[in-house]
Structure 1
């Protein structure tokens, strides 16, 4: 089925959609699943597709395994030059089109073997991974209990366009990706004339002091072996060079790798911002938004996933990551609820050291990995359900 899956991937790539409303992508998935004996549920508030495959050898309390593929693109103007490149202002610059095709392939493989499966498989086609987050609303709509029993384990994969040679799988047990939060700080002073700063309360140097204070806070308040990242991506103030503004704003992205430090960094940011402003007779309002939790691989489930990679593709195509990465993933909402495992596979075209990374307008993905993705997802489901390995 390699050619059919790659054709599906390229069809989706040429017509990407973003966020939670993906009606054309949803329809393509439904068309690709036609003819399979699946119980399909569509999202009520988002363009998700959930399909349940009933195993023919299941018992009353049979296990349930979930396989996930995200399906949304990014607001990026593609510049790859492919004949199937997008021209609508969006782009599958993170490879989710390959994820969809791989999950469709896994559904077809498992459907052929359904008579011997001693449990059920849930296929999760998820919009909104790039934001505003589709996993949480799918859970709210009953994803984890759609088979009539709670999901016992969940698995997902992600392609990359750089880092490793094509076909190499990489991951780790335990923390894999960071929690990602946003923080918006408003420093409130008193405006005035730029020639007489002593008659005003200038929020600009205070905003700068807060940013520098946050960098010291990161290195002095947190263990280097359980790190946090606090980056000021935007500072804004004023309208003209000789006018002291009333306010200055700071926009932060915050990354953490444990629940404890996620809680702590929020409190530390508030303390530094409010305290620095108060030291200069001003105030700072902190608006903190929690987004994606830490993505943590359950050690037992990751062992099942890793062993399937080793047996299917060989030890030479697997690399264990020494450290987690600071990207984030809303599969973490699933992993908070049920034991889960997640792994990366390189779809790099050319030299990994020179290739553009995910999210770039020239990010390129080799769709030779699509059938491998289908095979791994199907195999890990078979193994986790307890059926004979393929």
Structure 2
């Protein structure tokens, strides 16, 4: 493993910053303190800072030489609306808010790289350090783009990484093509006619109609979608009724749809609407159908993925650069990849044995109240970002 000496030396300082951020989590578009901390650190290292992209986003600029080439590196900075179960010193000080996905660690790794890049500047061109808010459901990447991120900071490509519990520290994983799914939500209100539970013939019972609807949705996956295409329909909430002896007026169903491609998503949305309306009509009822598209699929570009694989191999060796099996989870880095070539990859966070005394009893998995980022990754992640940026700016530029 080829770690950069100056980054290793600065690791304790960056760890302190990481734990400070962990102790003071902020939710999407509320990351004022976090943005202030990031901006101050960058400024102290002589890095020009631009703020306000995506409301609370921060962009640092490290430039050297005369080349007009540029590359973007991204870290997300927001926390989750959940209560931490850990009791160590840097546990969340705000009930109902927690860095349970490691965005504090992502920020720390990029800050570690930022300090080295600013101090040594062993490249010709510009490195844009993109600290993005509101990944957890707020679409912060989309909002930064709307605010002119790529017009203000023209870059050839954008790269991002996420820690991955269960994969060994010191390992990476990546793949070209779809790696994270689109995330979409639906809400269906099936409207019948309430009645006494002893006299259901006097009403229109929406409950059995809703049950048939849930079952029918699964035939979209098994009979309308090609078997080789990925897609998931999950009805995760069903609400109906207030008393045991009353047939309810309506049933509300909510859930998610996830796909790796937009054509499959288009088909599923259309068929769900047709099925919902058809079953409602069959039972003599009406239905309100809402479908909200959240994050698009995260699709890595083939050339940039091959580049990242080569760069990571130089840092940790080919045996520690694994193939990433795509997940149906979602990630708003997808918006960046719709606009720019790039790659989103994983860095192993270990099995949780890094956690100190005072951690909760649960596993150290993402979105778990006992999670904590593995600080051993800070020098590795910092070295990774530096080597990736230097390698990108050193390689011949592709012609359009």
Q: Indicate the residue corresponding to 1:376 in structure 2.
A: 384
1:76 match: secondary structure: coil
Q: Indicate the residue corresponding to 1:363 in structure 2.
A: 371
Q: Indicate the residue corresponding to 1:328 in structure 2.
A: 330
Q: Indicate the residue corresponding to 2:66 in structure 1.
A: 57
* 79-88 vs 246-255, greater mean Cα deviation: 79-88
1:356 CA drift (Å): 3.4
1:175 match: secondary structure: strand
1:37 CA drift (Å): 3.6
1:44 CA drift (Å): 5.8
Unaligned runs of 5+ in 2: 1-9, 355-361
1:21-60 paired onto structure 2 within 5 Å: 21-43=30-52, 46-58=55-67
Q: Is the 8 A contact 2:352 2:364 kept in 1?
A: no
> Are positions 1:140 and 2:143 aligned together?
no
1:71 to 69, 72, 77: 77
2:157 to 153, 156, 165: 153
Unaligned runs of 5+ in 1: none
2:294 to 291, 295, 309: 291
Measure the CA separation in 2 of the matches of 1:304 and 1:355. 34
Map Cα deviations across residues 34-56 of structure 1 (whole Å, 9 max, x no partner).
23343321116621111222232
1:81 CA drift (Å): 2.8
2:125 to 100, 105, 119: 119
1:192 to 192, 195, 201: 195
1:108 to 109, 112, 115: 115
Q: Indicate the residue corresponding to 2:92 in structure 1.
A: 86
Q: Indicate the residue corresponding to 2:394 in structure 1.
A: 386
Q: Indicate the residue corresponding to 2:341 in structure 1.
A: 339
> Are positions 1:19 and 2:28 aligned together?
yes
Measure the CA separation in 2 of the matches of 1:334 and 1:84. 32
Map Cα deviations across residues 356-389 of structure 1 (whole Å, 9 max, x no partner).
320000123321011111111121111111269x
2:338 match: secondary structure: helix
> Are positions 1:273 and 2:276 aligned together?
yes
1:350 CA drift (Å): 4.2
Measure the CA separation in 2 of the matches of 1:257 and 1:214. 18
Q: Is the 8 A contact 2:43 2:49 kept in 1?
A: no
| 1:356–1:240 CA distance, 2 compared to 1 (3 A) | same
1:120 match: secondary structure: strand
TM-score normalised by length of structure 1: 0.93
1:133 CA drift (Å): 1.6
Measure the CA separation in 2 of the matches of 1:202 and 1:377. 59
Q: Is the 8 A contact 2:54 2:140 kept in 1?
A: no
Q: Is the 8 A contact 2:183 2:294 kept in 1?
A: yes
| 1:344–1:259 CA distance, 2 compared to 1 (3 A) | same
Q: Indicate the residue corresponding to 1:227 in structure 2.
A: 230
TM-score normalised by length of structure 2: 0.91
Measure the CA separation in 2 of the matches of 1:246 and 1:53. 61
Q: Indicate the residue corresponding to 1:131 in structure 2.
A: 137
Measure the CA separation in 1 of the matches of 2:63 and 2:93. 39
| RMSD value, Cα | 1.8
1:190 CA drift (Å): 1.2
Measure the CA separation in 2 of the matches of 1:4 and 1:247. 57
Measure the CA separation in 2 of the matches of 1:384 and 1:309. 12
Q: Is the 8 A contact 1:117 1:387 kept in 2?
A: no
Q: Is the 8 A contact 1:349 1:365 kept in 2?
A: no
Q: Indicate the residue corresponding to 2:244 in structure 1.
A: 241
1:51 match: secondary structure: strand
Measure the CA separation in 1 of the matches of 2:110 and 2:91. 22
Measure the CA separation in 1 of the matches of 2:365 and 2:346. 13
Map Cα deviations across residues 138-168 of structure 1 (whole Å, 9 max, x no partner).
1111111223xx321000000122x322222
Q: Is the 8 A contact 2:53 2:144 kept in 1?
A: no
| 1:146–1:113 CA distance, 2 compared to 1 (3 A) | farther
> Are positions 1:177 and 2:180 aligned together?
yes
* 104-113 vs 361-370, greater mean Cα deviation: 104-113
